[in-house]
Structure 1
C-alpha cells in the first residue's frame, strides 16, 4: 500500500482496510466467539533473569520427546525449589538438565510440566526482547503457577498455557554417581571429529565408537559402514581412569555438544552399557546424558 494514511473499520462482519486507491475487505468472526482468556492469580510468583531463562530453556528443550505415546515426556519439567529452578527434558534416549538461580520465589517446592510448544514460544518472545532498553526489574520473567495453568510475564507480554498432566519420571536415578573414565576435550575439536565420523556411520543407527585408551591422553573416534567405508580420528585429551569405550548416536552427541557453552567439556563414563555424561569443564549447573547403543 502507499505510504499514506490507512483507514481501518468494521462493516457487516468484515474488516475494511482502505488507503487511497487500495481497498481490502477481510472476513472474520464476531469477537464474542473468541475463547475467554483465562485469569491467573498473581499474588505469588517466581522470578528469574530473562537471559538466564532464555539460555536454560534453549539448553534443554531440544531433548523433549516428539512421540505422543508418553505425553509427560512431551514437555519440559520445571522443578521450583526455594532458591533455584531445575529444568529437565528427556525422550528416554538422552536427557538434559539445567539449574537456574531464582531471584525470588514462593519458597515452596513445586513441579510442573510445560508443553514444548509453550517453551518454544516463550523462547521466541524472550529472544525478541531488547534487554538494553529495559530496566533491571523489567529484565526478569515472572512465572505464576496454578493447579493446571502457568503464566510467563515479560516486558508487558503475558503467555498463558495449560500444563501437561501426569508424573514426570524420576530421572535422577539414571544419572551415574561415579565414573570409571573421565575425559577432558576441546569442544569444537570434538564436534569436528564427530561430524567427520558421522559420514561413515550406519544409516538408521547413526553409531560412532569412542574409545578411551588408558594412559595415552587421547580419544579415538571411529565409524564404519559396508557401503561408505570407515573413518578414524584421534583427538588429544586429558584422560583419567581406566581403559574404556562406548558407542553413541552421533546426532544425540552433537545436540549436547552444541548446547554446552564451554570451550572444554568433561565426558564421563562407566562402561559401554551405562549412560555417558557430558558437562562443561568448570560448571556444575548443566549436564547432558546419552544412553549408549548396545552392540
Structure 2
C-alpha cells in the first residue's frame, strides 16, 4: 500500500473511528485501526467487537492499493502532531508501515489486515430513515437517563428505539426517572418493533451526527445488530438483548396541578442549591415548597450550609411540599430545548412530569424523594 493524503482528513478519520476501541483490549488486533485503499479513497475501520466505526476519506493519490492494521494510539498521536499538509503512508501490507511528512520519517509495526475482524453488511429489509438533527436531538434529550454501568438489568444500560408507523420514540430509564422523545421518520419499514441500543453507541452518534443538518441517516436493523449510515461514516453496533420495561406504566395518567415555569430560572436556582445539597445520606436532596405564585427551593447540609431560592410561577398553585434529587432535575432541564416548562405534580409520593410548554414530543417522569 502506498498513498498520499492530507493530514487534516487523515487525523479526522483516525479520531472518528478510534472511539470504537475499548479501553480494555482483549487482543492486540482490537487496539488497531485498519487502513485500506481503493480508487482515490482510504477506508479506516476500528472495532471493539460490540461496536465498529468506519469512515471513507478522500486522498490525493493511491500509488499502490493494499491494507494493513496499525496501533490506534501511536498512529493517532503521530498524525495528530504533524503540521497540516501532505502525509505519505507506505506499507508492506504485512507488518511495517512507513509514514512521512515534511521532513518527518517514522516507522510503526502493525498487523496483517486479514487478522482484523470483518465488518459485515447488515442483512435486513428493515430500513428506517431519519433527519440527522432530529435523531441527534432525540438522543441528547434522553441520553442522561440511561442507567449507570452497575445496573443489574442490562436493557436499562441503553435506550429503547420504538418504531410505530411513521414515528420513532427513544426512551431511557434507570428506575428513578424516565425520558421519552418522539420524532418523525422519513422512511419507515411498514411494521412496528423495538430494540435497545447500547449507551456507547448512542454516545458516538451524538458526537458524529451534525447539528442543524438536513442530511439523512439510513438505519438498518436486524435481530442482533443496528447499522447507521451517516454520510461517509458507518456505525455498526450490537443491540442489547431483552425486553425493555413497559415505560407507559410509569407515566401518570392524572396530576393534581400543572406549574408553568421559566426553565432557565428553575435550572439556575437548582444548580446553585445543589452546591449546598451534599448530605452523604441524601445526596442532591432539595425541597420544594409550592405556595401561591412561587416555588421555594431549600437545601440544608450540616457541615456545608443552607440554600434558599424563590422561583416565580406564571399562575398561583395549590400548596405542596415535595422533595427531589436536584441532579435528576438539572439533567433534564439542561438537555431540554425550550424556554418554558410545565411541571405536573400531585403529592409527595407520586411521580411528577416535566415537559416543554410549547411542544408535545418530549416527556420526563421523575420520582420524588420520600422524606423520613
Show the 5 A alignment for 1:98-117: 98-117=181-200
Please report the RMSD computed on the Cα atoms of aligned residues, expressed in angstroms: 1.9
Q: TM-score, normalised by structure 1?
A: 0.91
Q: Which piece of structure 1 moves more, 3-12 or 194-203?
A: 3-12
Aligned 8 A contact 1:182 1:240 in 2: no
1:162 has 2:238 as partner: yes
Q: Distance in 1 between matches of 2:310 and 2:102?
A: 69
**Which of these residues, 247, 262, 265, is aligned with residue 189 of structure 1?**
265
Q: Measured at CA, do residues 199 and 5 of structure 1 come closer, stay the same or move farther in structure 2, by a change above 3 Å? A: closer
Q: Distance in 1 between matches of 2:99 and 2:231?
A: 30
Residue equivalent to 1:209: 287
Residue equivalent to 1:230: 306
Aligned 8 A contact 1:181 1:242 in 2: yes
Aligned 8 A contact 1:181 1:244 in 2: no
**Which of these residues, 152, 161, 181, is aligned with residue 78 of structure 1?**
161
Q: Which piece of structure 1 moves more, 30-39 or 241-250?
A: 241-250
Q: Measured at CA, do residues 149 and 98 of structure 1 come closer, stay the same or move farther in structure 2, by a change above 3 Å? A: same
Q: Measured at CA, do residues 142 and 269 of structure 1 come closer, stay the same or move farther in structure 2, by a change above 3 Å? A: same
**Which residues of structure 1 form unaligned runs of 5+?**
none
Q: Distance in 2 between matches of 1:62 and 1:103?
A: 26
**Which residues of structure 2 form unaligned runs of 5+?**
1-81
What displacement does 1:104 show?
A: 1.6
Q: Measured at CA, do residues 122 and 32 of structure 1 come closer, stay the same or move farther in structure 2, by a change above 3 Å? A: same
Q: Distance in 1 between matches of 2:86 and 2:256?
A: 72
- 3-state DSSP of counterpart to 2:106: strand
Q: Distance in 2 between matches of 1:71 and 1:182?
A: 34
Cα offsets for 1:62-108 (capped at 9, x unmatched) = 11112242111000100001010010001112111001111120121
What displacement does 1:240 show?
A: 6.1
Q: Distance in 2 between matches of 1:15 and 1:160?
A: 27
Q: Measured at CA, do residues 68 and 207 of structure 1 come closer, stay the same or move farther in structure 2, by a change above 3 Å? A: closer
Aligned 8 A contact 1:13 1:27 in 2: yes
Q: Distance in 1 between matches of 2:157 and 2:302?
A: 36
Higher relative contact order (CA 8 A, sep 6+): 1
1:51 has 2:133 as partner: yes
How many residue pairs get aligned? The number is: 286
Show the 5 A alignment for 1:115-194: 115-127=198-210, 131=213, 139-194=215-270
**Which of these residues, 115, 122, 139, is aligned with residue 40 of structure 1?**
122
**Which of these residues, 241, 252, 258, is aligned with residue 328 of structure 2?**
252
- 3-state DSSP of counterpart to 2:100: strand
Q: Which piece of structure 1 moves more, 220-229 or 51-60?
A: 220-229
Q: Distance in 1 between matches of 2:120 and 2:164?
A: 26
Residue equivalent to 1:287: 363
